[in-house]
Chains A and B, each alone.
Chain A
């Protein structure tokens, strides 16, 4: 399908544009979509890969650089990832963290993971999170001068520190 704006390039995105309370649907090419501000969009099932390529492309500066870092695990460079619209392996997330950051912000609106932590592999992390939460509670209790409750929380923190996985034992 041709872009409904320039009628020259192939459309890669389906956008829902809301103006004065009315929503209309348009299919746009990459360059026309770049010019469109503040649109709410949904993926068109058939054009998702192209859409992602465009999203990567929006932020990619890596492809202009003469030498590129390759992922040590799968060997892909960031420009190769940009072409495919998918990362090569789990290590790509750490390798290309800086390049991915604006993309993730664009897609998800920024913010760190606050979802589920795997029970077995994330056991240490779960303990650390628990400990952080308890420390916040402890501070609040001290400020409220609720010293008896604070002592109970302090003991709970110590208990976690003594077991493997607490922040103290991590360092």
Chain B
């Protein structure tokens, strides 16, 4: 697969599912090679050696039909790196760093393994909807294949050893991306998510900082990685996620019953603007797409041609420029973003 084709590929996690609230699930396992210092302490040669060893093993999983292809980040320009970040396939810190580092991707981006990020390997699986258990099953299977050929740093008492002690033990960070417009509009989001943080889980707005979460999209993930089994971590996050979904659906029902005309007005205004606007900033687009998605989820609006996650990602600055194959200044981006949405929402 040529690079452009691979990067532009529709990522599996962006597919539409039956889940009205959980957009996607992600599982990440942090692993390090026993014989090398952690990435931040590696010499240039050491980093190159780790990259070579790991990339070879990663691409040697063909028999397992994983079809991972490895791309060194040094071969990608800044827009291509931006595309990977916007699709959540690599972290911003991997993109921003220098030296021997890269990512192994499956053709449908279900697997994305970062090499020489904070740890030597970050095995990630990303799936649409609430599929935490399935994501973990796939990540563990890939981990087993890699462990057969690589010596991972491990101690009986502390589990998998990681550069940062917040990841030690299982090395597992599981997260769900949830869309919570009902809780935000009914002003219950702080209360619900505040309760979630008291259960040992972390919450953050996906776009924008702090409580300014554009698009009403939040990421909920486990904090504790040591002293609990993978199963416990996943079951706990899954149970809390189901509770969040329940609260969100109740909030939407409340809106439907108490202020139906305001709700209809909000979602139809969003659809009208998306269908007709000639300039849309990134923030405007996310905000309106969120209301539009609320409308389609609640059966108030006809479905759009492209789904919510695809439209959000494809209208981010990096993806937009990459799809159109040219560099755009911010005002040109606003114009092209509005055009792309008009075409894809019809």
B-binding residues in A (CB < 8 A):
14, 16, 18, 21-25, 40-46, 52, 73-74, 76, 84-90, 93-94, 100, 103-104, 107-122, 125
Say yes or no for B148: interface residue by CB 8 A criterion: yes
B8-51 CB contact bits vs A (8 Å, 1 = yes)?
00000000000000000000000010101110110000000000
Q: Of B160, B170, B210, which is within 8 A of A25 by CB? A: B210
In contact, B159 and A113 (Cβ under 8 angstroms) = yes
Which residues from B are CB-within-8-Å of A119?
144, 147-148
Which residues from A are CB-within-8-Å of B193?
23
In contact, B172 and A115 (Cβ under 8 angstroms) = yes
Given contacts A23-B191, A23-B197, A89-B37, contact A116 B230 (CB under 8 A): yes
In contact, A118 and B37 (Cβ under 8 angstroms) = no
Please list the 7 inter-chain residue pairs (A to B) with the smallest Cβ-Cβ separation, ordered nearest first: A111-B227, A23-B194, A90-B153, A113-B159, A115-B170, A108-B226, A42-B202
Which B residues from 263 to 296 make CB contacts under 8 A with A? none
Which residues from B are CB-within-8-Å of A45?
204
Say yes or no for B52: interface residue by CB 8 A criterion: no
Given contacts A113-B227, A119-B144, contact A103 B165 (CB under 8 A): yes
Residue ID in chain B nearest A49 by CB atoms: B164
Which residues from A are CB-within-8-Å of B161?
87, 90, 93
**Given the complex of chains A and B, what is the CA–CA distance between A107 and B209 in angstroms?**
23
Q: How far is the CB of A4 from chain B (nearest CB, A)?
A: 12
Q: Of B40, B140, B148, B151, which is within 8 A of A84 by CB? A: B40
Q: Of B151, B157, B191, which is within 8 A of A22 by CB? A: B191
B113-155 CB contact bits vs A (8 Å, 1 = yes)?
0000010000000000000000000001001100110011111
Which residues from B are CB-within-8-Å of A93?
155, 158, 161, 168
B83-125 CB contact bits vs A (8 Å, 1 = yes)?
0000000000000000000000000000000000010000000
**Given the complex of chains A and B, what is the CA–CA distance between A87 and B168 in angstroms?**
11
Which residues from B are CB-within-8-Å of A88?
37-38, 41
Say yes or no for B175: interface residue by CB 8 A criterion: no
Which B residues from 292 to 333 make CB contacts under 8 A with A? none
Write 6 A-B pairs (CB below 8 A) sorted by A numbering: A89-B37, A93-B158, A112-B157, A112-B227, A120-B148, A122-B154
Given contacts A52-B164, A87-B165, contact A115 B190 (CB under 8 A): no
Q: How far is the CB of B61 from chain A (nearest CB, A)?
A: 16
In contact, B198 and A18 (Cβ under 8 angstroms) = yes
Q: How far is the CB of A165 from chain B (nearest CB, A)?
A: 13
Say yes or no for B181: interface residue by CB 8 A criterion: no
Say yes or no for B166: interface residue by CB 8 A criterion: yes
Given contacts A104-B226, A108-B224, A113-B158, contact A89 B168 (CB under 8 A): no
Q: How far is the CB of B148 from chain A (nearest CB, A)?
A: 6
In contact, B197 and A41 (Cβ under 8 angstroms) = yes
Q: Of B140, B147, B191, B226, which is within 8 A of A113 by CB? A: B226
Q: How far is the CB of B286 from chain A (nearest CB, A)?
A: 18
Residue ID in chain A nearest B161 by CB atoms: A90
Residue ID in chain B nearest A114 by CB atoms: B229
Given contacts A18-B194, A74-B41, contact A115 B164 (CB under 8 A): no
Q: How far is the CB of A23 from chain B (nearest CB, A)?
A: 3
Say yes or no for B211: interface residue by CB 8 A criterion: yes
Say yes or no for B3: interface residue by CB 8 A criterion: no
Say yes or no for B81: interface residue by CB 8 A criterion: no
Say yes or no for B156: interface residue by CB 8 A criterion: yes
